[in-house]
Amino acid sequence: MKKINIQRALLVLVVLVCLIGCKDEGQKRSYFRKLERSYETIAVGIYKTINPNLINISNIIEALKIDAGIVAVTLTDEDILRSELENIDVLIFPGLNLEELSDTINNEVVQIIRRFAVERGKGTIGICGGSNIFSVLDNECKTVDLIGIEKVTLIESGKTPGIIGFNISEQGKDIFPELIDSINYFIDYHGDLVFSIDEDTNPTFNNVAQHMYEGKSFPLFVTLNLGNGKVFLTASHPESTPGMRWMLPRMVRWVMGRDLVTYDQNVIRPEFFKKEILYNKQFTNRFEFLINQLDEKRKKDKIMAMDELQEFYPWFAAEKVRQLLDDKNSEVRIRAAKYLSDIEYTMAIEDLETRIDKERNKKNREQLKQYLSKLESMIEQSSGLY
């Protein structure tokens, strides 16, 4: 990576590290594996409730690592009160359930977020249930209730969660020009939620992508202006969809009004899924069977299970497969490494490094290094403008 304005870069990084205060430095260190950042670095804060879904947050952080111009930290209410988001450019609200919404938010934090988004013109992104934090909810949950967002809410769709099809609107093609060559793409959708758009919605509202269900079109990605800032809301989870994780850093750049840079073909893989995969009872039963197969003693059972899991829904099984990097059988270890690299599971980079250090067989070590290199090439990309 080119060393451009390192002093400014380190200053950005130091400020962000200060935001996490006395939190465990060891856990945060992996977020900042490389220090050479340009002065144009986009600082992203990921909102963290009292009882957060840590997997959701980890998936977001890993997806953002694709872009060399983005650095991310998690922010609690306490962090927001202390920093007032002074050094943050974009605030992301990850998937939240109603219990998590009940944990938050105090009035002072609400005012800081409103000033951040509406007056200071910063970017905000809501992912799945995280979009609810912008809205007026018909319950006792406290939300930010930002101006104009009360007309865009999430409702239960009745749609079975799964890998669902979607298509891009004309406005969406401006943000995701990589997706103009096909009608249908597929993305992770497990919240059973879609956007309900009031006819008096903010006039800057745009339907970026939609999903067809029972003859009706449901907005899946929406954008709008909020005072001086931009908002991007998604009812799906690009951050946990192999081949589509790059969409999240692209959203970050869009809400900041920054140049939309290209990413490498090893992460832009919209053809990864070929059809919808519904998480129905039949799927769940088969998935549980395959997961149990990973605990079997026979090498053949484990490898066959990984083959099927990778094809139908790899992300669900990724953490279990990650454990197989330490399996007694070298073929199982190699297959697990291939699985993780094939699905872009960059959370396993340090696990692979550890496995390579332990590996005694030279051939096996070289194979593992190839998969490690493949994963490492998926982070901190710095391609040119689109």
Would you call 174 exposed, middle or buried from its count of C-beta atoms within 10 A (0-12, 13-18, 19+)? middle
Confidence of residue 194 (pLDDT cuts 50, 70, 90): low
Per-domain residue ranges for the chain?
Answer: 7-256, 281-376
What is the amino acid identity at position 175? I
Closest CA to 226 of 132, 60, 113, 127: 113
pLDDT in tens, 218-232: 888 989 888 899 999
CATH fold, domain 281-376, is Leucine-rich Repeat Variant (1.25.10)
pLDDT score, position 31: 35
Is residue 346 within 8 A of residue 375, CB to CB? The reply is yes
Q: Is the model more confident about 282 or about 4?
A: 282
Residue 181: predicted pLDDT: 81
CATH topology (fold) of 7-256: Rossmann fold (3.40.50)
Is residue 252 within 8 A of residue 123, CB to CB? The reply is yes
Q: Average pLDDT in the 302-312 region?
A: 96
Handedness of CA 378, 129, 124, 43 (dihedral sign): negative
Q: Do the domains 281-376 and 7-256 match in fold?
A: no
Task: Extract the tokens encoding 364.
Answer: 């096996």
Give the mean pLDDT of the chain.
83
CB 50 within 8 A of CB 78: no
CB atoms closer than 10 angstroms to residue 63: 28
pLDDT of residue 7: 40
Tracing tokens 């002072």 back to the chain, one arrives at 108
Per-residue pLDDT at 299: 97
pLDDT at 362: 97
Positive or negative: CA dihedral 258, 260, 266, 270: positive
Contact 115, 228 (CB under 8 A): no
Query: Distance between CA atoms of 232 and 134, rounded to whole angstroms?
Result: 11
Indicate the range of 46-60, 62-76, 122-136, 285-299 predicted with least confidence: 122-136
Segment 144-148 shows an average pLDDT of: 51
303: three-class secondary structure by DSSP: helix
Helix axes 299-312, 281-293, angle to 10 degrees: 150
> What's the predicted TM-score (pTM) here?
0.85
pLDDT, mean of residues 297-305: 97
Q: pLDDT at residue 18 above 70?
A: no
Q: Taking residues 69-80, what's their average pLDDT?
A: 94
Give yes or no for residue 140 having a pLDDT over 70: no
Report which of 316, 304, 383 is spatially closest to residue 343, judged by C-alpha positions: 316
Which of 344, 189, 202 minimizes the C-alpha distance to 272? Answer: 344
Q: Give the Cα separation of 54 and 47 in Å (integer).
A: 11
Q: Is pLDDT above 50 for 195? A: yes
Confidence at residue 82, expressed as pLDDT on a 0 to 100 scale: 95
What gap in Å lies between CA 24 and CA 185, rounded to an integer?
39
Residue 191 has pLDDT above 70, yes or no: no
In this structure, what are the phi and psi dihedrals at residue 155, rounded to the nearest 5 degrees?
-130, 160
pLDDT band, residue 100 (cuts 50/70/90): low
What pLDDT shows up at residue 157? Answer: 61
